[in-house]
Structure 1
Amino acid sequence: MKFYQRLAFFLFGLLLGVIFLIYFLGAKAESRGVTFCYLPNCRVLKDIRSKPFYYSENATKVMQEKWVDTTDIRNTLTYGDVDFSKSNVKVGAGKLYIVEGKTTDQTPILLEVINYDKKVVLQGISKYKVE
């Protein structure tokens, strides 16, 4: 058997194996609620969501203005984008992360989150203009 025939059989078998794994393992992961986070944005947001969440006094005052609520914050921490150029700054024993997201009425917001070892504190909430 020539090399290109062996290569074609190998690639065909590899393709079938990959499709099999994606189909069966993907369905198993979805049924159990397992997510695979390999990118930095996903890993940071998952780490933030996995810890107890607290609000600072400043964040509580902004939330009392009623233009942002806990649903908006939760959605931003699930689907938002971490601005790594301004994030990963040491603040005491934790690190500051800036997360960009939107409210339910599509107002762009910035969350300043301090990620400690055992907890997460929402430091500030602000509106920003999309460039």
Structure 2
Amino acid sequence: MHGTICESRMVPPAGAEVATGWRIPGVLDGCAGGWVKGWAHPLSAILTIIVVAGTLLSSSGSVVAQTSMEKQAQCELSAIRDTRSGLAIQFIRSACNWLALNGDSLLNESSKGYYVCLVRQLSGVQADEAAAAIVSACRTSSPP
């Protein structure tokens, strides 16, 4: 479109006065091919809103799942480090899983102490016998 208003809108001719901030209805639409005459901006705004809303709604469920998975992984990483007992590792993983899923719930507040006790006290345990004694002590001090 040589010599048209579309070309002059993109690169004004030398010496031409340029009016900024003015929108001439139909000019941009004509440059875009005229297929939506006057609807280009409202249509793109609506499509943008739909895409953003769809993205937010589709990812909201995975954000919650990812957060609990991250909590469990951090719990396990901090507690299992030097632990050699297979029984202790099993109880630590189970406790971290429970805490990641239920730890923030007020409904499960009475059981939380037991799982926190397991994570703290089983960390670094070397033998299964010691792990069994710690599990028993946690159960006695903070019943699940």
Q: Tell me which protein shows more helix as a share of its residues.
A: 2
TM range (shorter): 0.3 to 0.5
Q: Tell me which protein shows more strand as a share of its residues.
A: 1
